[in-house]
Amino acid sequence: MNRIEQFVLDTIDESRPALIDLTRELVRIPTENKQTIGGEKECQLLLANRLKEFGFPLDVFTPLDVEGIENHPRFVPGRDYENRPNVVAILKGSGRGKSLIISGHIDVCAKEPLLWNHDPFGADIENDRLYGRGSLDMKGGLAAAVMALKAISAVGVELVGNVYLESVVDEEGSGSGSLSCILRGYKADAVIIPEPTSMTICPASMGEKYMRIAIHTENRKQYIGSGPKDINPVYGIAKVIDALYTFEEERGKIEPENIHPLYRNMANPLAVTIEQLKAGDVGVPGAFGIPVDAWLLASMRVFPGTTEEEFEREFYSFLNSAIEKEPVLKRNPPIIANEARFLHPHQIDPNHPIMKMLSDSFMKVCKQRPKIEGAPFACDGFLFEKYGQMPVVIFGPGGENAHAANEYVRIQDLCDLTKIFALTMMNWCRYR
Ligand SMILES: [Zn+2]
């Protein structure tokens, strides 16, 4: 490590309290994604103000400000983007070095109705843990990127290539925040997304398919507690649950050589998760009788390299044979519909230069070799790859309970991440 690099890292050490403060400020402003509305504006304006104070030019725009986005095949219609601006900060390089995008989402998933021991928006600190909704997924990673950018400009390092820092809206709903940045023209030679990876450098992410499976009461009649017992759709949906359980088990029996090489250390990578389950009009008091329908919402993971069509073939062939074998389902088959859009998996060559650059920076900061594996989740990564032709790496802090109660991020990871981002910006974009 040379003197300038060391100077930047020392500066980041000194600004550790500011990094923690910024993360806490972001966590304290709720930005829950309430499908189809959101409330990112206040938090985005705070971030924009900080970035302005640090001296960076900004571009603030909502997804719908980007002309033509509504005609894009990946645009998800029917979402409200009033008061939901993206914020892009630009650190303009002095020449023609390689460019870098660091992109993170500012929206968080809903805190309710989970049981928290900490105020979800209190940003409590206990030892090395900073608690709160979004602390891990992914305001902490965003704050680290901001502080890296700040340290570089504060010590007067002049980058040759451009760095763009994107804080985007509606990742937990549609991905239109990221899509609109791509369509607005933000392009770079590499993209880093600081989603929580426990400091593992991930050249790949999983794909995810959501399906809603419903069973209506046979003959669409509602009986008041009489009639043949198994016309009740609850019994049908129970068989579907059994089938999905078996589907996950069968997929888990994959031969080791067929497991994607970046996912061989992961337990149950091809998870099938029943996320919601409902029967009858639960919101209507006094809706007695056999429920009109029962449905569930399931998410299912796929490895990088698997297309939506390949997954659908596998899924329908399994489910159709399960229906064939089960009289209740055969008589009254489930109605299956896609929920939301397919989240594509993504991958780049694990030896891509940006991987090497991140690994070198990691070793300088953490004094050990990084873990390199696939990210165990789907995210906006594929949008940059598929619609922006940019190589994408997922790399962010550790912690626990993303999308769950008592979410927290490790503070030490945020400090290390800030340093690794700073070194990567400097050496990827080059500097004077
Ligand atoms: Zn996330």
Give the CATH number for residue 305.
3.30.70.360
Distance 426 CA to ligand 1 centre (A): 26
Burial class (CB in 10 A: 0-12, 13-18, 19+), 260: buried
Distance 379 CA to ligand 1 centre (A): 7
Residues 247 and 305 placed together within one structural domain of the fold: yes
Residues 148 and 123 placed together within one structural domain of the fold: yes
Report residues near ion ligand 1: CB below 5 Å. 137-138, 195
Distance 178 CA to ligand 1 centre (A): 12
Residues 370 and 394 placed together within one structural domain of the fold: yes
Q: What pLDDT, on the 0 to 100 scale, is given for residue 17?
A: 98
Residues 11 and 116 placed together within one structural domain of the fold: yes
Burial class (CB in 10 A: 0-12, 13-18, 19+), 398: buried
Cα–Cα distance, 424 to 415 (Å, whole number): 14
Last residue of a domain, one of 315, 338, 361: 338
Q: What pLDDT, on the 0 to 100 scale, is given for residue 290?
A: 82
Last residue of a domain, one of 338, 358, 385: 338
Distance 43 CA to ligand 1 centre (A): 16
Residues 104 and 228 placed together within one structural domain of the fold: no
Last residue of a domain, one of 284, 312, 338: 338
Distance 398 CA to ligand 1 centre (A): 13
pLDDT means over runs of 10, the chain (432 residues):
96 98 98 91 97 96 96 94 95 95 96 86 97 97 98 95 98 95 98 98 98 83 62 92 97 92 94 94 75 94 97 97 94 92 96 98 98 97 97 98 95 98 98 92
Q: How many domains does the chain have?
A: 2
Contact, 57 vs 165, CB < 8 A? no
Residues 231 and 328 placed together within one structural domain of the fold: yes
Q: What pLDDT, on the 0 to 100 scale, is given for residue 219?
A: 60
Distance 68 CA to ligand 1 centre (A): 26
pTM of the model: 0.95
When computed from its CA atoms, the radius of gyration of the chain, rounded to whole angstroms, is 23
- The DSSP line for 202-266 is BSEE-EEEEEEEEEEPGGG---SS-S-GGGSHHHHHHHHHHHHHHHHHHHHT--GGGS-GGGTTS
- The DSSP line for 170-191 is -TTTTSHHHHHHHHTT---S-E
Task: Note if the bond before 36 is cis, omega within 30 degrees.
Answer: yes
Residues 354 and 323 placed together within one structural domain of the fold: no
Domain span at residue 123 reads: 3-204+345-429
Residues 400 and 325 placed together within one structural domain of the fold: no
Cα–Cα distance, 101 to 303 (Å, whole number): 25
Residues 85 and 195 placed together within one structural domain of the fold: yes
Token pair listed for 321: 């044979």
